[in-house]
Structure 1
Amino acid sequence: MMFALAMLVALGLDALIGWPDGLYARVGHPVVWIGGLISRCEKAWNRGGRGRRIGFGALTVLVVVAVSAGLASVALLLDGWLGALVTGVLAWPFVAVRSLHDHVAAVARPLAAGDLGGARHAVSMIVGRDVTRLDEAGVARAGIESLAENASDGVIAPLFWGCLLGLPGIVGYKAINTMDSMIGHRSERYEAFGKVAARVDDVVNLIPARLTGVFFALVGGGAAWRVMMRDARGHRSPNAGWPEGAMAGALGVRLSGPRFYETHVAEEPWLNGGAPDPDGAAMGRALAVYRRGMVLAGVVLAALALV
Structure 2
Amino acid sequence: MGFAGAMAVAMTVDALVGWPGGLFSRIGHPVTWLGRLISLLDRSWNRSADAPAIRRIAGLAAALLVIGLCVALGWIVQAVLSPRWGGVMILGILAWPMVALRSLYDHVDAVAQPLQSGDIDAARLAVAQIVGRDPATLDEAGIARAAIESLAENASDGIVAPVFWGALFGLPGILGYKAINTLDSMIGHRSERHLYFGWAAARIDDVANFVPARLTGFLFGLVSARFSAALSCMVRDANRHRSINAGWPEAAMAGALGVRLSGPRGYHGGMSEEPWLNERARDPLAADIPQGLRLYIRAMALLGASLVALALA
Q: Same fold (TM over 0.5)?
A: yes
Asked if structure 2 preserves the Cα contact closer than 8 Å seen for 1:257 and 1:270, the reply is: yes
In structure 1, the residue matched to 2:31 is 31
Instruction: Return the offset for 1:292.
Output: 0.5
**Higher mean displacement: 66-75 or 205-214:** 66-75
In structure 2, the residue matched to 1:175 is 179
Percent identity, please: 59
Instruction: Return the offset for 1:259.
Output: 1.2
SS in 2 for 1:236: coil
4+ runs of 1 displaced by more than 3 Å?
A: none
Aligned equivalent of 1:214, options 211, 218, 230: 218
Matches within 5 A, 1:27-176: 27-47=27-47, 48-77=50-79, 78=81, 79-176=83-180
**Higher mean displacement: 220-229 or 274-283:** 220-229
Aligned partners of 1:110, 1:24: CA distance in 2, in Å? 26
Aligned partners of 1:280, 1:49: CA distance in 2, in Å? 48
In structure 1, the residue matched to 2:205 is 201
Q: Aligned letter for 1:61?
A: A
Instruction: Return the offset for 1:49.
Output: 2.0
Asked if structure 2 preserves the Cα contact closer than 8 Å seen for 1:107 and 1:122, the reply is: yes
Instruction: Return the offset for 1:230.
Output: 0.9
Residue 240 of structure 1 pairs with residue 246 of structure 2 = yes
Aligned partners of 1:121, 1:22: CA distance in 2, in Å? 23
Q: Aligned letter for 1:168?
A: P
SS in 1 for 2:223: helix
Per the normalisation by structure 1, the TM-score is 0.99
Asked if structure 2 preserves the Cα contact closer than 8 Å seen for 1:111 and 1:280, the reply is: yes
Instruction: Return the offset for 1:264.
Output: 2.4
**Higher mean displacement: 141-150 or 28-37:** 28-37
Residue 249 of structure 1 pairs with residue 255 of structure 2 = yes
Asked if structure 2 preserves the Cα contact closer than 8 Å seen for 1:253 and 1:277, the reply is: yes
Instruction: Return the offset for 1:72.
Output: 1.4
Aligned partners of 1:103, 1:49: CA distance in 2, in Å? 40
In structure 2, the residue matched to 1:184 is 188
Aligned partners of 2:312, 2:13: CA distance in 1, in Å? 19
Aligned partners of 1:273, 1:75: CA distance in 2, in Å? 48
SS in 2 for 1:237: coil
Q: Aligned letter for 1:74?
A: I
SS in 1 for 2:281: coil
Aligned partners of 2:26, 2:217: CA distance in 1, in Å? 37
Asked if structure 2 preserves the Cα contact closer than 8 Å seen for 1:34 and 1:68, the reply is: no
Aligned partners of 1:199, 1:266: CA distance in 2, in Å? 22
In structure 1, the residue matched to 2:311 is 305
Which consecutive unaligned segments of at least 5 residues does structure 2 have?
Answer: none
Aligned partners of 2:302, 2:262: CA distance in 1, in Å? 25
In structure 2, the residue matched to 1:13 is 13
Aligned partners of 1:264, 1:205: CA distance in 2, in Å? 28
Instruction: Return the offset for 1:195.
Output: 0.5
Instruction: Return the offset for 1:69.
Output: 1.4
Instruction: Return the offset for 1:26.
Output: 2.0
Which consecutive unaligned segments of at least 5 residues does structure 1 have?
Answer: none
Cα-to-partner distance string for 1:13-46 (whole Å, 9 max, x where unaligned): 0001101111112221111111111011000001
Instruction: Return the offset for 1:172.
Output: 0.4
Instruction: Return the offset for 1:90.
Output: 0.3
RMSD: 0.8
Cα-to-partner distance string for 1:188-234 (whole Å, 9 max, x where unaligned): 01111101000100000000000000000001122111111111111
Asked if structure 2 preserves the Cα contact closer than 8 Å seen for 1:252 and 1:276, the reply is: yes
Cα-to-partner distance string for 1:131-156 (whole Å, 9 max, x where unaligned): 11111111111000000000000000
Instruction: Return the offset for 1:268.
Output: 0.9
Asked if structure 2 preserves the Cα contact closer than 8 Å seen for 1:233 and 1:241, the reply is: yes
